[in-house]
Amino acid sequence: MQVSVVIPTYRREQVLLDTVRFLHQLNPPAAEILVVDQSEEHQPSTMDALQAWEREGKICWIRLTRPSIPYAMNTGLERARGDVVIFLDDDIIPDARLLSAHALAHSEESCRIVAGQVLQPGEEVLPEQVEDGEFLFCSGRRRWVEEFMGGNFSVDRKGALALGGFDENFVRVAYRFEAEFCDRALTAGERILFEPGASIRHLKAAHG
């Protein structure tokens, strides 16, 4: 199963570079990393790093002139070559099993949408024995859910394209675009699996 990673990014500098470096260290690696960049310009050090990685074939650097989260994600979905496409925020620390856990969840459960675990600053994994029924993305238990967080989820590429991708009518911070996609997918008969092994720590960078 070929896995592509798509990182939509906007006005991020060192934290973006750190995120890509972390992903380069994962084993097995992604088949490709697509950085969908909506920034008008970057600091020279950021430009140098992104250009070097592109020359070396370590990333596919896609430059867009119109900032839009759904448009950037659709661009990544269309350009990706993998069977499974993982969407990640540009300010994260990935768990070592992130990519393999996403891929395994798709193959084991034959589902086409996987929600990954997201640990926000100060959060730790919620032990199963203290969960009270309310679903939180720091949960440690695999389950079927009705939503995902846009900073860590994966889709079957062909399935997501068949659903029409992400709704570009959501603008600016595109609040709730994930919920709209999930509602559309569930209505079409898809299921969403929460896989805690596919984990990231979200840094919540202040700018970007």
**Residue 28: is the preceding peptide bond cis (ω within 30°)?**
yes
Nearest to 24 by CA among 63, 73, 47, 58: 58
Alpha carbon 14 to chain centroid distance? 19
What's the angle, vertex CA 133, arms to CA 130 and CA 134, rounded to 5? 100
pLDDT of residue 143: 93
What angle, rounded to 10 degrees, do the helices at 14-24 and 44-55 form?
30
User: What pLDDT does 171 receive?
Assistant: 87
Q: What is the pLDDT of residues 18-45, one digit of tens each?
A: 999 999 999 999 999 999 999 999 999 9
pLDDT tens-digit profile, the chain (208 residues): 899 999 999 999 999 999 999 999 999 999 999 999 999 999 999 999 999 999 999 999 999 999 999 999 999 999 999 999 999 999 999 999 999 999 999 999 889 999 999 999 999 998 765 566 678 999 999 999 999 999 999 999 999 999 999 999 998 788 899 999 999 999 999 999 999 999 999 999 988 7
Contacts of 203 (CB under 8 A, 6+ apart): 15, 91, 92, 93, 121
Q: What's the pLDDT at 131? A: 60
pLDDT of 134 reads 78
In this structure, the strands spanning 92-94 and 192-202 are antiparallel
What's the predicted TM-score (pTM) here? Answer: 0.96
Distance (Å, whole) CA 114 – CA 101:
10
Q: What is the pLDDT of residue 92?
A: 98
Where residue 38 falls (left for φ over 0; alpha for ψ -120 to 50; beta otherwise) is alpha
Tell me what pLDDT residue 144 has. 95
Q: Tell me which residue of 143, 139, 112 sits closest to 126, measured CA to CA.
A: 139
pLDDT of residue 208: 78
Q: Which residue blocks in the chain are alpha helix, DSSP H?
A: 14-24, 44-55, 69-79, 98-109, 157-162, 177-187
